[in-house]
Amino acid sequence: MSKWLIFGIGFLTHAWAFAQVVSVEFKEKGFLFSDAPTLSFLWPAKQAKATLVFIPGGEGRIGLTPDRKNLGGFYGNTLKPLSDEKLSRGAFNVVVFDSPINLPGIDYPTSRQANEHLLRIESVVRHFKDMYSLPVWIMGHSNGAVSITEFYKALQKSQKEDLIAGAIFSAARHGADFNDKTKIPILFLAHEREQCSKTLPARTKAVYDQQQKTNPSRTEYVLIKGGEAQPQNPCSSGFHMFFGASEEAYTAIEQFAFNPSN
């Protein structure tokens, strides 16, 4: 093997290990579709067993730029550790999806049911599945739970459910739901002291109870108990964002994904 090939392989391996923004080309065409690429933030794991694609809540738009080197807040505290063997098993490559357009909703975020949004999620899932040749899990938090439930329903319609290996339904917006044909493992996360009226844990528990009756795959409901409130909007801070309880959340995620017998 030539020294230049060895150098090239070494360079790619080294570059692979860094957190980075990854641009995924959006090739789908449709009336009023944006042709902008979908940017996603990637924390790669050295010994990954799976990839986790996370869909944010709010209006779904982080505003990533290609030079971004890290993410803080909920992303850095709750998601990044899943890729870090010093804080967890480090078994997940973690991908944070960033919509190039806002995903608004007054009473309910219907924009997350839009064909363009769902196709963008699919293109990102496929990109990282091809990139790593590992199972892909999807996670939606708050309004993001609407995205993952609608995405899974779209996969069901096109008979492509095997594209994903499992789902994390986290602090879900009321109205997000899986149907009775769902056949993937699902972890349901909620905070017992949730203060956002749109994401109360009783609704998440109801979705979990229904899935227990119809879903042949594993399901589990975990109530986060620690952390603290913050003086900001309770639907974007404090208990809703697992503030001060991130370790509880990421431990529950990896236990569910990688300890199926528990």
Dist. CA 138–CA 152, nearest whole Å: 9
Tokens of 122: 């699919």
Contacts 24+ apart (CB under 8 A), 221-228: 221/188, 221/190, 222/187, 222/188, 222/189, 222/190, 222/252, 222/256, 223/190, 223/191, 223/192, 224/189, 224/190, 224/191, 224/192, 224/248, 224/249, 224/252, 225/191, 225/192, 225/193, 227/191, 227/193
CB atoms within 10 A of CB 58: 16
The CATH code belonging to domain 21-258 is 3.40.50.1820
Q: What is the predicted pLDDT for the residue at 172? A: 98
Dist. CA 194–CA 234, nearest whole Å: 8
Q: What is the predicted pLDDT for the residue at 32? A: 83
Its pTM stands at 0.92
Q: What is the mean pLDDT of residues 226-234?
A: 97
Decide if 98 contacts 40 (C-beta within 8 A).
yes
Determine the number of helices (DSSP H) and then strands (DSSP E) in the chain.
Answer: 6, 8
Question: What is the tens place of the pLDDT at every residue in 211-220?
Answer: 999 999 999 9
What's the pLDDT band for 16 if we cut at 50, 70, 90? low
SS3 98: strand
What's the pLDDT band for 76 if we cut at 50, 70, 90? very high
The pLDDT > 70 percentage for the chain reads 92
Question: What is the tens place of the pLDDT at every residue in 157-197?
Answer: 999 999 999 999 999 999 999 999 999 999 999 999 999 99
Question: What is the tens place of the pLDDT at every residue in 105-118?
Answer: 778 999 999 999 99
Decide if 236 contacts 60 (C-beta within 8 A).
no
For helices 144-157 and 115-132, the axis angle rounded to 10 degrees is 80
- Say which residue the tokens 């924009």 belong to: 111
Domain definitions of the chain by residue range: 21-258
Q: What is the predicted pLDDT for the residue at 229? A: 97
Q: Which of 174, 172, 104 is nearest to 138 (CA)?
A: 172
Q: Residue 43 pLDDT > 60, yes or no?
A: yes
**Mean of all residue pLDDT scores within the chain:** 92
Q: Which helix (H) or strand (E) holds 212?
A: helix 201-214
Q: What is the mean pLDDT of residues 11-28?
A: 75
Tokens of 164: 């994903």
Sign of CA dihedral 144, 146, 151, 152: positive
